[in-house]
A and B are shown apart, each in its own frame.
Chain A
Amino acid sequence: MNNETLIEVSQLSCYYGDHCAVNEISFSVNRGEVLGFLGPNGAGKSSTMQIICGVLAATAGSVVVASHDIVEAAEKAKQHIGFLPENPPLYKDLTVDEYLLYCARLRKIQKNQLKQAMDNCKSRCGIHDYGKRLIANLSKGYQQRVGIAQAIIHSPAVVILDEPSSGLDPIQNLEIRELISELGSDHSVIVSTHILPEVQSSCNRVLIINRGKIVLDEKINQLEESGTQSSWTIALARPPLLEELEQISGVSLVRNIDGRRFRVVCENSVAAPALFTETSVNKNWGLYELIPERESLEHTFLQLTHGEVVEQGASSAEKT
């Protein structure tokens, strides 16, 4: 069941006049996948998402959602889609209940299931006590939650969230990440965000788009493991000379942070911990700290979108 393809995007292009926003991109998303959609501003993320949802017409290419073409069988395809745009599509004069009821009716939920669907999505989004409140009077974070609630009210097979965490406080952010992970268990989820740790924590696949083209499409765990380099912060009670550390096989770069702490870039991320501990024990360096730097996605993102490798020494020093 998990291999069922719910979204199939083929050779999708979108032009705004002469400007090419999306340039012949193709990818597919299976059930149970949470796809993190990354890219700098103006890369074509929102355009792609809107085309998948049928909000925007593509110049060329096709989108198939749950075996239905979004153009030829729009209504059937859209029944399987829940979409949260960048700005939540809210009627601010309505109460939360009135709004969700309208959304439920638009999504053709059966009359006898309306109440259950509303209660379910409200409790999932943590707005159960806000049903009678006017949307205009809610904070930005709660408005965002109402926006997410309308996207999942009909339990769609495909949930597309365009920057769901904007305007949320850290706790709400965490809850949204949990919600996204939960949705990913039985839906296909596409999440666009600028917060890279969010992708690392809640997505199992990442797709980076730049200037309308896909520049990376990989599973998160593969990305972390297959990275050609991995960074570690190590702390040694009896630190050797920097040259000695550089001589460890597989180590490509060593930087001194504060005399005892070092930032070490290693060629093999899997073998690195064993390598450091063994060498430290053998040479009596007194290794007491070994912290992996989980910045490989940020590093990859910047490399692919800006074509540059960012110096991470300073940020590592701040962390330690």
Chain B
Amino acid sequence: MNSVISIARHEFRKLFISLFGWTILASVQFILAVFFYLLLSKYLESGSVFAGRGLTAVVVTGMLQIAGVVMLVISPFITMRSFSDEYRNGTIKLLFSSPVSIVALVMGKFIGLMLFYFCLLILICLMPLSLTSGTVLDFGLLFSGISGVFLLFSSVFFFCSNWSVYIKLKQLSCAGCD
């Protein structure tokens, strides 16, 4: 278990010691903020097509739908580097010669990436939560929406990080380059 934590911590840190992690966080936040603003201003327009529907259903759910699409595009950038980078830099030999099982290695990397994703999700949640200062949100809807995005990201992360094991070509794994 200690190995899993060590690998997860290292994977998480690796994203933040380079510009890569910060760039991803800023880009996603910027894109979603634009859509959040557009949805909110559209909702507040008089005679809008959203009239009669709740704020959470329109703005929050709408933004989370876009977050799902954005993350489908972004997640290969985050995850496909996890193993391919280790192969490319030769550091996979350090991991393979250490007393760490393959399960611990994959789990460590997965948890590390999920921690990063969790940070991303918290930042995304701050936008809908800011609405609570002026209105009442449907927290059930908000929670189910976030859960959906979380599960979607988890599956994509897992798929991409495992797929990256087979991709050693720099051109193909460019998504994972710094």
Contact = CB atoms under 8 A, between A and B. Distances in A.
A50 B99 contact: no
Contacts of B96: 53-55
B97 A53 contact: yes
B4 to A, nearest CB: 11
A133 interface: no
A87 B90 contact: yes
A75 B100 contact: yes
B170 interface: no
B3 A108 contact: yes
B2 A107 contact: no
Interface in A73-131: 74-76, 78-79, 81, 83, 85, 87-94, 102-103, 105-108
Contacts of B6: 102, 105-106
A106 B90 contact: no
A79 B3 CA distance: 13
A94 B18 CA distance: 10
Given A102-B6, A108-B2, A108-B3, A94 B98 contact: no
Given A94-B17, A108-B2, A78 B98 contact: yes
Interface in B6-26: 6-7, 10, 14, 17-18
Contacts of A79: 99
A107 B99 contact: yes
Nearest to A53: B97
A106 B92 CA distance: 12
B144 interface: no
Nearest to A80: B99
Contacts of A93: 14, 17-18
Interface residues of B, number: 21
**Which of B6, B95, B101 has its CB near the most chain A CB atoms (within 10 A)?**
B6
Contacts of B53: none
B94 interface: yes
Instruction: Tell me if B's interface is mostly helix, strand, loop or mixed.
Output: helix
B93 A55 contact: yes
A53 B100 CA distance: 12
Interface string B79-95: 00000000001111111
A159 to B, nearest CB: 11
A54 B98 CA distance: 9
Interface string B19-58: 0000000000000000000000000000000000000000
A15 B32 CA distance: 52
Contacts of B18: 93
Contacts of B90: 85, 87-89
Contacts of B95: 106
Interface residues of A, number: 27
B94 to A, nearest CB: 4
Contacts of B17: 93-94
A150 B99 contact: no
Given A93-B17, A93-B18, A94-B17, A106 B91 contact: no
B94 A150 contact: yes
**Which of A50, A91, A106 has its CB near the most chain B CB atoms (within 10 A)?**
A106
Given A75-B99, A78-B99, A79-B99, A89 B94 contact: yes
A34 B14 CA distance: 37
**Which of A54, A74, A76, A89 has its CB near the most chain B CB atoms (within 10 A)?**
A89
Contact of B93 (A75, A85, A92, A106): A85
A150 B93 CA distance: 12
B89 A106 contact: no
B136 to A, nearest CB: 45
Interface string B94-128: 11111111000000000000000000000000000
B107 to A, nearest CB: 14
B94 A103 contact: yes
Given A75-B99, A76-B99, A106 B94 contact: yes
Given A102-B6, A106-B6, 16 more contacts: A50-B93, A54-B96, A55-B97, A75-B99, A75-B100, A81-B97, A83-B93, A89-B90, A91-B10, A92-B89, A93-B18, A105-B2, A105-B3, A106-B3, A108-B2, A108-B3
Interface of A: 50, 53-55, 74-76, 78-79, 81, 83, 85, 87-94, 102-103, 105-108, 150
Interface of B: 2-3, 6-7, 10, 14, 17-18, 89-101
